[in-house]
Amino acid sequence: MFNALLVEKDEESGLAAASVKQISPDALPDGEVTVSVNYSTVNYKDGLCMSPKGGGLVRSYPHIPGVDYAGTVEQSSDERYKPGDKVVLTGWRVGEAHWGGYSQKANARADWLVPLPQGIDTRQAMAVGTAGFTAMLAVMALEDHGLQPGHGPVLVTGAAGGVGSVATAILAHLGYEVAAVTGRPETADYLKSLGATTIVPRDELNETTKRPLESETWAGCIDAVGGAMLARVLGQMKYGASVAAVGLAGGAGLPATVIPFLLRGVNLLGIDSVMQPYDNRVRAWKRIATDLPMDKLEAMIHPAILSDLPQLGADILQGQVKGRVVVDVNA
């Protein structure tokens, strides 16, 4: 038997609640690889999966959330993995449609796993998690479309969140000038400690404008907000610059015009981390191991244990989680 955070639905009320329970290994779903989980983390999707109605993500109950986890291979029927290997899992709808990492053990399909590269351990991997993995995918996409240090400031919206925090640290480490957007003035010192050179109050970009183009300001952008802010930012991009869209904290709508694309050659790049192909996952994790300063990563970490998760799930849905939560599932 082992511990897991189990979400169970009350048949009378139809609402779900999460608590730490003892689970039998026989209850785990099938998978080629059994992982002894070391750490997990907390993402917005985890908050939804722990909510009373499952956020529309949970297919059936009982359910174990946790869209990310890192650990050690216990046994494997796939030749790519052997006992003792360190692995990380993000995406593939694990923790939503499939049981996830809020558990001391997990079974996974071999195709879902990525070997941890040298230079990063399982705790650090979960300080990175889907949020940091997405941030690196966004940085790589901007670079693949021509962004280089010296081109001008790179804007990061939602900078104090998980994706924004890691993106800020990576960009600063690579030599970029980072302008960090936040609606929480108290996070300014935190963002500067990650390497941000300019703090942009959220209200400055939340104001809508009827002008389809403004002064060319940003050489690149990693946007976690979407909505009106993304529309505004598109009109401020330099000629040929790109915006990597990673989130929709400000809404799924895009009240924009095509003018920035037609007159300035601006690129809007969609970043998906869930179904990302294996080769690009490996590339991203290798870049994380070399281009994310681990001292900055350490400054983002807030430790937690399984019993903390229901409250943390509620907090992240309210935008009250800063940086990266690392959950020790064995504590």
pLDDT in tens, 8-66: 999 999 999 999 999 999 999 999 999 999 999 999 899 999 999 999 999 999 999 99
Looking only at the bridges linking them, the beta strands covering 86-90 and 113-115 are: antiparallel
Query: CB–CB of 116/87 below 8 Å?
Result: yes
Closest CA to 137 of 291, 293, 304: 291
Closest CA to 220 of 194, 200, 202, 239: 239
Q: Which residues face 5 on adjacent strands?
A: 20
Q: Coil, strand or helix: which one is 327?
A: strand
What is the band of 210 on the pLDDT scale with cuts at 50, 70, 90?
A: confident
Q: pTM of the prediction?
A: 0.92
Q: Coil, strand or helix: which one is 4?
A: strand
Residue 207 has pLDDT above 80, yes or no: no
All domains in the chain, ordered by first residue: 2-116+298-328 (3.90.180.10), 130-270 (3.40.50.720)
Q: In what order do the strands lie in the sheet with 154-156?
A: 198-201, 178-182, 154-156, 218-223, 237-245, 267-270
Residue 249 has pLDDT above 90, yes or no: no
What span, in angstroms and rounded, lies between the C-alpha atoms of 218 and 146? Answer: 14
Span 60-85, pLDDT tens digits: 999 999 999 999 999 999 999 999 99
Position 73 scores a pLDDT of 98
* DSSP letter, residue 174: T
What span, in angstroms and rounded, lies between the C-alpha atoms of 165 and 322? Answer: 9
